Amino acid sequence: MHCYKLLIAYDGTSYSGWQIQPNGPSIQEHIQNALRIILRNSFISVIGSGRTDSGVHAKGQVAHFKTEQSIDVQKVLWSLNGLLPVDIRIKQLEEVSTDFHAQYDAIGKEYHYSLSLDRVADPFTRLYGWHISGRLDQDLLQEGIKHFIGTHDFTSFTNEQHAGSAAKNPVRTLYRLDIVPNEGGICLEFEGNGFLYKMVRNIVGTLVCVGIGKMKASEIPIIFEARDRKRTPSAAPPHGLCLMKVYYS
Amino acid sequence: MHCYKLLIAYDGTSYSGWQIQPNGPSIQEHIQNALRIILRNSFISVIGSGRTDSGVHAKGQVAHFKTEQSIDVQKVLWSLNGLLPVDIRIKQLEEVSTDFHAQYDAIGKEYHYSLSLDRVADPFTRLYGWHISGRLDQDLLQEGIKHFIGTHDFTSFTNEQHAGSAAKNPVRTLYRLDIVPNEGGICLEFEGNGFLYKMVRNIVGTLVCVGIGKMKASEIPIIFEARDRKRTPSAAPPHGLCLMKVYYS
């Protein structure tokens, strides 16, 4: 048995998300189908490090697949990029140990969320950043950020159905949440040991509420305490979010 | 009479270019139609600083229009952006002297041409940069660039039909042609007193030929001398090009 690791970038605009689903095109399905054609093996399953939602982008998604065949990674890399739509690119393909698992072995992830702050929305970032037309106070934003760094029960900041139940541990550690200026706005850089479903988008939604003065940073601990998603402002839209990196030990 | 100046950004991907034409949507037509609706005046003509081709982008196109009406520029700016497609944005609208002319008064322009140099094309720059998969030698590129800076008869580097004829002066001055690194590649920054039709794309096509070793930089003066477009390599594709700025005195 051989195991291969893929490093994947995609513009999520035209997809229903990473995960295969009955309605709408997914990135996982495109890659799996292309691999099945190239390797003439209809049993190949592509397992990602985690799903990304409809409209969410990735510059560093990781996935793996297993096969009895020993493959020429350079050849298969080029064939894959030849078959895949241009908004999905395989950046690397390498053989890894057979016990590698893209999801279970991940020990951390980095996500970036872009906020466009130009008074008039920039046509070039319209698909890759959330346009905030009002004034976003970065000091307030920074005050809000302090409450998220570290280890917390993130039940109030996830749309995961069973979060907080015995079935799923809702405790995660956010190592880093930095504000980094970029062209026309800022990027919120998240690094943590794992992220619950919609966790980044819920945090960004809350931080923007704080930054535009609709909510006080001091309310964040109360929301954490409530362990109830209904207490949290609306999630930020998907198109500002990008999965940058998956960490393995 | 009042004259108003527009500063415009557009993602040219979905358009047949700036200029109104019978087949296909143009940026000029969209803006002109939106203004005619807002000002209830079907005689308004929008005059740009120059055309951009199908697929070419702009972050700083300038245009003007004249009307008897005195308008509230803030209100009209927001109405325009409300009516226009999201890939065309009016960044500024201001009243200027009635003798202002966006094309005739322009004394210089800045264009950027992006080259993506990642081994695997980046899905996020696929619409905004020309992907060169081979090795591009920046020293060779720099050698080529030297031949373009300054004042030259650019007849060999334009697809303008009457270039070099008495009808049109083909002499232009390129003040600056810099290589600036950007994410995943480089940007060629052009600044000059004016640009002939397809001049930037023809120069980039030639420079890339030099950079990948398909042509010697020393052949460039011979091409200039020939005053014949047929001697020049193929033009670079439109989607790498962006009109950044139009200068007025």
Each residue's pLDDT tens digit in chain B (249 positions)?
Answer: 999 999 999 999 999 999 999 889 999 999 999 999 999 999 999 999 999 999 999 999 999 999 999 999 999 999 999 999 999 999 999 999 999 999 999 999 999 999 999 999 999 999 999 999 889 999 999 999 999 999 999 999 998 876 555 557 999 999 999 999 998 999 999 999 999 999 999 999 999 999 999 999 999 999 999 999 888 999 999 999 999 999 999
DSSP B175: E
Q: Is A209 exposed, middle or buried (0-12, 13-18, 19+ CB in 10 A)?
A: buried
Kindly identify which residue of chain A lies nearest to residue B118, measuring between CA atoms: A91
Q: Does an H or E element contain B179, and which?
A: strand B171-182
Contacts of A73 in chain B (CB under 8 A): none
Kindly list the distances between the CA atom of residue A245 and the CA atoms of A29, B148, B210, in Å, as whole numbers in the listed order.
Answer: 21, 41, 36
Contacts of B6 in chain A (CB under 8 A): none
Binding-face residues of A in 67-126 toward B, CB within 8 A? 77, 81, 86-91, 118, 120-124, 126
CA B224 to chain A, closest CA, distance in angstroms equals: 35
User: Which pLDDT value is given to residue A172?
Assistant: 96
User: Which pLDDT value is given to residue B78?
Assistant: 96
The verdict on A10 touching B (C-beta cutoff 8 Å) is yes
User: Which pLDDT value is given to residue B164?
Assistant: 54
Scan for tokens 């919609």, then name that residue. Answer: A198
The two tokens of residue B219 are 């052949």
User: Which pLDDT value is given to residue A165?
Assistant: 59
In SS3 terms, chain A reads as CEEEEEEEEECHHHCCECCCCCCCCCHHHHHHHHHHHHCCCCCCCCEECCCCECCCEEEEEEEEEEECCCCCHHHHHHHHHHHCCCCEEEEEEEEECCCCCCCCCEEEEEEEEEEECCCCCCCCCCCCCEECCCCCCHHHHHHHHHCCCEEEECHHHCCCCCECCCCECCEEEEEEEEEEEECCEEEEEEEECCCCCCHHHHHHHHHHHHHCCCCCHHHHHHHHHHCCHHHCCCCCCHHHEEEEEEEEC
Provide ipTM, 2 decimals.
0.85
**Beta carbons of B89 and A122 less than 8 Å apart:** yes
Contacts of A91 in chain B (CB under 8 A): 118, 120
Instruction: Closest CB to A124: pick one of B11, B118, B126.
Output: B11
CA A236 to chain B, closest CA, distance in angstroms equals: 19
Instruction: Closest CB to A89: pick one of B86, B121, B128.
Output: B121
User: Which pLDDT value is given to residue A160?
Assistant: 81
Q: What is the pLDDT along chain A (249 residues), one digit of tens a residue?
A: 999 999 999 999 999 999 999 889 999 999 999 999 999 999 999 999 999 999 999 999 999 999 999 999 999 999 999 999 999 999 999 999 999 999 999 999 999 999 999 999 999 999 999 999 889 999 999 999 999 999 999 999 998 876 555 557 999 999 999 999 998 999 999 999 999 999 999 999 999 999 999 999 999 999 999 999 888 999 999 999 999 999 999
The pairing of strands A106-116 and A241-248 is: antiparallel
Interface test with A, best of B7, B11, B77, B131 (most A CBs within 10 A): B11
Contacts of A90 in chain B (CB under 8 A): 120
Contacts of A114 in chain B (CB under 8 A): none
Scan for tokens 């940058």, then name that residue. Answer: A244
Instruction: Closest CB to A10: pick one of B86, B90, B123.
Output: B123
CA-based nearest residue to A211, from A143, A136, A149, A117: A136
Interface test with B, best of A79, A89, A92, A182 (most B CBs within 10 A): A89
**Beta carbons of A59 and B121 less than 8 Å apart:** no
**Beta carbons of A91 and B120 less than 8 Å apart:** yes
The two tokens of residue A188 are 């919120």
User: Which pLDDT value is given to residue A164?
Assistant: 54
Separation between Cα atoms, residue A32 and residue A48, nearest integer Å: 11
| pLDDT per position as a tens digit, A161-218 | 765 555 579 999 999 999 999 989 999 999 999 999 999 999 999 999 999 999 999 9
Interface test with A, best of B74, B116, B120 (most A CBs within 10 A): B120
User: Which pLDDT value is given to residue B173?
Assistant: 97
**Beta carbons of A11 and B121 less than 8 Å apart:** no
Kindly identify which residue of chain B lies nearest to residue A87, measuring between CA atoms: B123
Residue B63 φ/ψ region, left for φ over 0, alpha for ψ in the -120 to 50 degree band, beta for the rest: beta
In contact, B145 and B136? CB cutoff 8 Å: no
CA B120 to chain A, closest CA, distance in angstroms equals: 6
pTM of the predicted model as reported, rounded to 2 decimal places: 0.91
Residue B8, classed as helix, strand or coil, is strand
Kindly list the distances between the CA atom of residue B118 and the CA atoms of A243, B26, B173, B177, B207, in Å, as whole numbers in the listed order.
Answer: 19, 32, 32, 22, 18
Residue B90, classed as helix, strand or coil, is strand
CA A123 to chain B, closest CA, distance in angstroms equals: 5
Instruction: Closest CB to A11: pick one of B77, B120, B124.
Output: B124
User: Which pLDDT value is given to residue B158?
Assistant: 94
